[in-house]
Amino acid sequence: MHKIQELFDPSKQLNRKIESVVTFGANTTEDLDHEIREYVVTDKLHKNYEDVLLDLQSAFDNSSKEIGIWVSGFYGSGKSSFAKYLGLSFDKSLMIDGVTFGDKLLSRIHDTTITALHHAIINRHNPLVVMIDLSTQSVAGNISTVSDIVYYETLKQLNITKCTDQKVMCFVDMLHSEGKYEEFCRIVKEEKHKDWEVEQCNDLAANMIAASLAPRLLPAYFPDSASFKNIKMNSALNEKERFKRLYQLIKEKTGKDKVIFVLDEVGQYVASNVELILNVQGMMQIFKDEFRGNVWVIATAQQTLTEDNRQAQLNSNELFRLNDRFPIKVDIEANDIKEIITKRLLGKSQEGKEFLVKLFNQNEGILKNNIHLAVQQRSIYNQVLTEQSFADLYPFLPVHIDILLSLLQKLASRTGGVGLRSVIRLIRDILVDNHLADATIGQLAGPEYFYDVLSSDMQKNSAKEIVLAADKAVRMYTGNELAVRICKTIAVMQLLDDFNLSFDNICALLNNKVSETLDRNRVREIIDEISGSNELTLQEVEGKYQFMTNAILGIREERGKIVPREVEKAEVMQDMLKDLLTPAPAVNVYASKTITAGVELTERNRPYTIYNTTSLKMNVRFVNGAHFEETRQQLLTESTRQENMRTLYWLCTLNKDKEALLQEIVKCQNIRNRHQNETNKEIQAYLRAQGDMAEEKKQQLRHALREAQANSEIIFRGSPQQVNADTYKTVALKGIAEKVFEKYPLASANMKSDCVNKLASYGDVTTIPDSLNPFKIIKKNDGTIDAAHPALMEIKDFVASRSEATGQELMTHFESIPYGWAKDTIRYLVALMLKAGSIQLRVSGKDITVFGESAVAAMGNNNAFGKISISLNTDGTLTVPELLNAAKILMGVLGAPRTAPVKDQIAQVANKRIKYLMPKWNKLVPHFEHLHLAGLHPLNQAIGYANRILESEGGEAAYLLGKDKECEKAFRYAMELVKCNEQAGFLDRFLHMEKLMDEADNLAPNGILDGFRKQVNEVRQVYNGYVANPDLPNIVSDITELSSQLDAYLQQACLEFQTQSNEQLNKKRVAILANPEMEKLKEEQRAQIETLLGELTIESRGSSIDNLRDMLNKFSGFYMPMGAVEVIEGRVKTMAAANAPAVTTVTSSTAGENTEGNDDNPGKGTPTHLHSPSYSSTQLCIKHKITSRAELQEVIDRLTQLLDKVGDNSPVEFIF
């Protein structure tokens, strides 16, 4: 074997067609047949296919909510192939040579389990697959949302429309929804003489036709053509409703209820736009919530969702938002592509492999040493070379494949990958077109070959200037093969920002023979020659070689003209010093105080503040050794001045001049700031190098400053002290701080912010814990306060010097030098002074002399404390006997616990006790006022004294209790009232009697109660006497007795009234039963009357006034008009009348007779006879009301009997 080509497996056919990269657009049968025959399924891909199919089956079978698969991998890794072939494998109609594409793919996988799984998914669910290449959308400049693209591309696949214009597509969808699509097509055919199936492929024509017919077919949406033309498509439909509509269309058109959307290059399309990312997130959420595992999305991207790919075309730190939407991850790894390259192209024959293994073993040491790369940021460039990888990839090395992949990624990041070849295609072109396969065995590939196959791609983007510069050098050194290789290697490798293109690594890349070592000296000579040429732009920048573009040369010239200003150099020094002294210098003094020094840098006699000064300032100066003594003498004098009493000077000696370093740092920073918005990639790389240089120079400057600190002096108030970077703080600064804060030990404890509130919580200060008495100001043996304590005297002197001082003034004064006390500690000390009676507060115009609630509120925090005024308490004090008397009354009269005869203690206890008693006293007042009791005045007097004590928070308690006899008298009276009322309830007795007597006066008149009324009047006379007596506590038993007597009278009245009223009712009952009318009643009617009479009785339910009133009212109700008695009597009469016959004859009389008389006319001889007509009436008594047929018939029969008798002289008279 002599040539490289002889090593390969003959079946590989190096010169066969190999696709550039797999795209979704290559979907003809011929394309797919060629692609699937070339497809290699690695172990990792095999596992990925199995995992995805299992997830799909589970989701489709169990309605899972997991619906997203994220396929990630570098450019050319095969992620698009994975997604494309997986999606197309579910299309049963896609046939290649009579076999479904799915079966073609499964034959490449060689796994019966996966085959069965795949067939099960198709047979059970037969999903619809929608393939969408977002990279073409991106290149076309389309910025539609992914949800819009998915929606309208699906409509096109369903043959609902072939138009690509979203407005027209939406219009066609509306026509389908309204059932007017067929009519629309007919009108276009008849009136426009066009075929819509043809015209919709032309976006402009489709727009014009839709605009003209929209008002006619959909007038509710488009009133005129202008409304259609002017509408802006912004996914106006609700996304959820739109996709539910789409899903319904899919089921109607295809009969399928499972859908898989395969989206290629999602990461590239959305990564630079947060709104697009959020759109995908929302779309996936809709699919997840609405379709429950029936709609899936397989997305490909160069980025993973948890970490951006630094080589990806576009990255965004917002991609993580999609992580939860795509829970299933498929990562195509770089190692897979090496296996694929070996199996598809670089596979060797058995003889060739054995030959290469032997070659490697013979030259392993020299080969590994020659190709070793130093100081690489990425570990992929440092992978270990083995005999297996050498034999598999020869004439390429593993690092060559990694470099090629990185170069493709870099170029793809600038062009989107359009037109780029796959890594396999590049290797084939290097072997065949660049004739590497014809070289002698032992020859290795190298970056010069990569340049040859990629230079045309480099010229299409921002690397064009690099190609021009390299080609110019190549032309100049045409006869020098090594020089040409060097130029090509540097030109192509400088594209990789993460590759350290140092001299050593260039030599490693140039080693192109397995068994030979490159002449490094010759390489150095050539590189120096090329770099020194005025016509070429090769330069070494920060140890890395690169061809400088014209823009880089111009920016370097601009940098050389920068003149750093003093203020810029001072800014660098400030940053350096702040870095060295971070955090700000601080020391702990007196075991409890931390002193933080302000820091000031002096450069060229101008001060610059590093940390603001609060109490102690440290001035830092870095001087050369030549000027050290001069500066030292100056500071020894300057430090003794009054204005510098709080300043310590730190003089540091520099062994190295800092000026040159500052110059370089400022130049690097300025050139970066001037071009911070530069978009040229080469200039950006140069600027990054400038940043690195600035950091390196800063590190050097930082080291020089640290050395200067190690040899330095501290000067304070004219005294020098030798220090270093450690002792300046632990020794010098600590000692100086203790001198400055000399009075801090007087109150060295830092009290807590709630110290005042806690102090107030202890009524008995003898029990106070040590944490609240750190300075031993409170004498725990007797509870007194040491008003002569030095810390309190300092505050007293300060207040006395001003007559009155605010809390803010106190904190400002004692927080600063020479005290340094904490603000909370200052509040605590003032609280003790108030408790001792040494000072008084003025809060909101009110004087406070007692450490009570108002004082605690006013001093509870630093903000409130700052607003109060403080003055010395010059008022007279009570004598000891008076204080003893106050304490005695407080305990003996008011019932307080034993209290020390101290004004503050009396105030606290009295205030607390009065707060407890006041509700009881106030509760008595309304009853006293209502009853007009004579004791109201002394009671109100006691309440008045109590209010004075409460308003002063106990401040007046000692005076009132110790000196005011009237106060004592009033308090005793109030306490006796409360005691009597609690024990005997005399107020309830008064109220009871008042109510009973008032109710008795309001009873209805009745003779039975005359005696009771007389007894009530007698009780009232005695009652009025008690009301007028202020000495209520002494007549409590009399009041109780009177109340009991009244209750006895009432009980007797109730009994007598019940007895006498029932006797009267019984007499009435007997009288009614004796009434003759009762004889006319039927038995049942008589029983009813007797029952009613039985209810005429008075019952007693007790001996209350309410019972008496009820009995009286009931008795009176029996006899009132329409009362029970009258009702019973009336009912007897009514029943008796109802029982009488319907008609009776009352009487029958004759009204005329025949009469013979004497002759009234004398002289007449014949007698005269007179005859009067007869008159007989019949009187009938008829019931007013007839209620039965029998009674009515009786009346009719009687009247019928009289028909023959009735006449003028025989009338019938009716009586009703």
Specify the pLDDT at position 58. Answer: 87
Q: Write the DSSP assignment of 7-28 as a string of letters.
A: GB-GGG-TTS---SS--TT--S
Cβ of 1031: how many Cβ atoms within 10 Å? 10
* CA 679 to the chain's CA centroid: 39
Amino acid at 275: E
Q: Is the dihedral of CA 338, 341, 344, 347 positive or negative?
A: negative
Maximum C-alpha span of the chain? 212
Whole-structure pTM value: 0.48
Q: Is 562 left (phi over 0), alpha (psi -120 to 50) or beta?
A: beta
Distances (CA, A) of 304 to 84, 312, 987: 19, 10, 86
Residue 831: in which H helix or E strand, if any? helix 823-836
At 272, list the tokens.
Answer: 């630079």
CB of 158 within 8 A of CB of 253? Answer: yes
At 867, list the tokens.
Answer: 């607003």
Interstrand relation of 1143-1150 and 1176-1182 (parallel, antiparallel or unpaired): antiparallel
Nearest Cα to Cα of residue 444 among 502, 403, 495: 403
Low-confidence ranges of the chain (pLDDT < 70): 1, 19-21, 137-142, 162-164, 232-237, 272, 307-317, 334, 376-379, 413-420, 461-462, 874-878, 1142, 1146-1175
832-855 burial, b for 16+ CB within 10 Å, e for fewer?
Answer: bbbbbbbbbbebeeeebbbbbbbb
Specify the pLDDT at position 316. Answer: 52
CB of 497 within 8 A of CB of 473? Answer: no
CB of 572 within 8 A of CB of 665? Answer: yes
Q: How far apart are CA 102 and CA 87, in angstroms?
A: 9
Residue ranges and CATH numbers for the domains of the chain are: 19-145+254-332 (3.40.50.300), 148-234 (no CATH), 337-548 (no CATH), 566-731 (no CATH), 742-872 (no CATH), 880-984 (no CATH), 989-1136 (no CATH), 1142-1154+1171-1215 (no CATH)
Tell me whether residue 1111 is exposed, middle or buried, using C-beta atoms within 10 angstroms of its C-beta: 0 to 12, 13 to 18, 19 or more: buried
Q: How far apart are CA 188 and CA 195, in angstroms?
A: 7
Helix/strand/coil (H, E, C) string of 131-178? EEEHHHHHHCCCCCCHHHHHHHHHHHHCCCCCCCCHHHHHHHHHHHHH
Q: How far apart are CA 859 and CA 844, in angstroms?
A: 13
Number of H helices, E strands in the chain: 50, 26
1034-1057 burial, b for 16+ CB within 10 Å, e for fewer?
Answer: ebbeebeebbeebbebbeebbeeb
Helix/strand/coil (H, E, C) string of 357-372? HHHHHHHHHHHHHHHC
Q: How far apart are CA 1152 and CA 306, in angstroms?
A: 140
Residue keyed to tokens 């605590």: 828
Interstrand relation of 719-723 and 95-96 (parallel, antiparallel or unpaired): unpaired
CB of 135 within 8 A of CB of 263? Answer: no
At 963, list the tokens.
Answer: 């000196």
Coarse DSSP helix, strand, coil percentages of the chain, rounded to the nearest 5 percent: 60, 10, 30
Q: Which residues contact 292 (CB under 8 A, 6 or more apart)?
A: 63, 64, 65
Amino acid at 982: E
Q: How far apart are CA 192 and CA 958, in angstroms?
A: 110
Residue 1214: in which H helix or E strand, if any? strand 1212-1215
| Coil/strand/helix, residue 619 | strand
435-447 burial, b for 16+ CB within 10 Å, e for fewer?
Answer: ebbebebbbbbbb
| Coil/strand/helix, residue 1144 | strand
744-766 burial, b for 16+ CB within 10 Å, e for fewer?
Answer: bbbbbbebeeebbeebbebeebe
CB of 56 within 8 A of CB of 291? Answer: no
Please provide residue 741's backbone torsions phi and psi, each rounded to the nearest 5 degrees: -105, 60
Specify the pLDDT at position 416. Answer: 55
Q: How far apart are CA 823 and CA 806, in angstroms?
A: 13
Q: Is the dihedral of CA 1074, 1078, 1084, 1085 positive or negative?
A: negative
DSSP state of 1009: G
Residue keyed to tokens 């007779």: 1153
Residue keyed to tokens 């009212």: 1113
Angle subtended at Cα 918 by Cα 914 and Cα 924, rounded to the nearest 5 degrees: 145
Angle subtended at Cα 796 by Cα 790 and Cα 797, rounded to the nearest 5 degrees: 90
Interstrand relation of 1176-1182 and 1212-1215 (parallel, antiparallel or unpaired): parallel
Q: How far apart are CA 461 and CA 1210, in angstroms?
A: 148
CB of 405 within 8 A of CB of 334? Answer: yes
Q: How far apart are CA 860 and CA 752, in angstroms?
A: 11
